[in-house]
Structure 1
């Protein structure tokens, strides 16, 4: 693994991903494919588990058929781990896939096939806090600078998968053009059953209230943290070093208060207002 970033079509991306950019860009989606897309550390794994449970009518055993990263392959990592592109191409439809790519870099085939895309957005402060901790264990990103410097890099978009601001605004503005369901991490945290119903409806699944409640229980943070098929505990060690810290950390709203100083919060707020000016996107809790 090379712990460095490079620029791909205007976005900072890990070198180990960027070197296979043509394969990623030209991935062929199919009719019926479902894409879960997020900026990193925004509730991706949580939504993956929710969607898999919805598609399997809350059949817990079916959703333990393999780890979540095999059940729902990660488009940018096909060349780095299993399942590879050949295995993904052999998967039966409808496939559920995952990406962190911004809307303008999502493989064109998803839009051509009018695939359903579920986008999860999380407030910027909690996202950068979680990403900072995560970048300590992700082996194809540069080792994080001290927090103050890392925060500056995040504000400039000089972290893996680029600018949070461009990412969340890009998908927000694309809702009218594409088949996108835009979900907020904070809403799923506050009213999980309501959001599960919303996702199920978007996916064309008519589930009983009992099934919805079961999905809520099986996809709770506490349950997933103990579930080896959901908690990334056996994710390839050459990509994710979990010897000192696990993949699933807190899953909270407001954890940013453990890292931000008052001064950093004020500077961040000023920059946030500048970068979000002109957008109708508003987060349910904080920013």
Structure 2
């Protein structure tokens, strides 16, 4: 990124408090609301990967993990740019930078994309293209504390006020991206209807290797047949497969 442009952006964030707006009852930064049609009509691609979280739930951590998986563990390539450049945040609209949607549209496939949107506000094209989504959820108490301190530091969001004031605002859902409760429950209810891997932040802390393996398996092609084969088709296929492959000495794994 142009260092001069980055300096201007940082100065803007330092001196400007973004006003709030609302989309379908969900509080969002006003700048996001101003380009809502652009966000709503965003065109996903079949090989996109979407990382969805409520704010301060470990988003950056998951972005770096998935980026490394997509690069087959190439650490040097993963350091090619800051995370907010590698992974466009489609909710964001902060001039003089490109909006998140504009940034995503300039990228080659496969793209890794980020959102904090509750599930009902996710652009429909993600579902039309059957995009794989990783949703990372963090417990409400730690999320609240982290978000409070983030808002105190980040002048691009409203001043959170005192801790007692913020406590009440958080419980009422009167904060940017709305209610934590609605957010985590909405994504949870949809996880069996869509290609959504629901991951818990606390599980990541407890056993990173186990959870990263889950993410890797979810993104890999091995086992994807389960999302397409009907039970009857699987039976027919296995019979035919055995007939044609028997004695060949070839053995394939259909799941890991």
TM range (shorter): 0.7 to 0.9
Structure 2 residue 144 is the aligned partner of structure 1 residue 133: no
Counterpart-to-counterpart distance in 2, 1:157 and 1:139 = 20
Larger radius of gyration: 2
CA shift at 1:69, angstroms?
0.7
Partner of 1:172: 188
TM-score by length of 2: 0.77
CA shift at 1:89, angstroms?
1.6
TM-score by length of 1: 0.69
Counterpart-to-counterpart distance in 2, 1:124 and 1:84 = 27
Gaps of 5+ in 1: 207-287
Structure 2 residue 23 is the aligned partner of structure 1 residue 20: no
SS at match of 2:198: strand
Deviation >6 Å, runs of 4+: none
Structure 2 residue 207 is the aligned partner of structure 1 residue 191: yes
CA shift at 1:158, angstroms?
0.2
Counterpart-to-counterpart distance in 2, 1:168 and 1:85 = 24
CA shift at 1:78, angstroms?
4.9
SS at match of 2:185: helix
Classify 1:181/1:142 alpha carbon distance in 2 versus 1 (closer, same or farther; 3 Å). same
> Alignment length, in residue pairs?
206
Structure 2 residue 125 is the aligned partner of structure 1 residue 104: no
Counterpart-to-counterpart distance in 2, 1:105 and 1:44 = 18
Structure 2 residue 65 is the aligned partner of structure 1 residue 58: no
Gaps of 5+ in 2: 1-15, 223-256
More helix by percentage: 2
Counterpart-to-counterpart distance in 1, 2:38 and 2:149 = 29
Counterpart-to-counterpart distance in 2, 1:50 and 1:141 = 27
SS at match of 2:47: coil
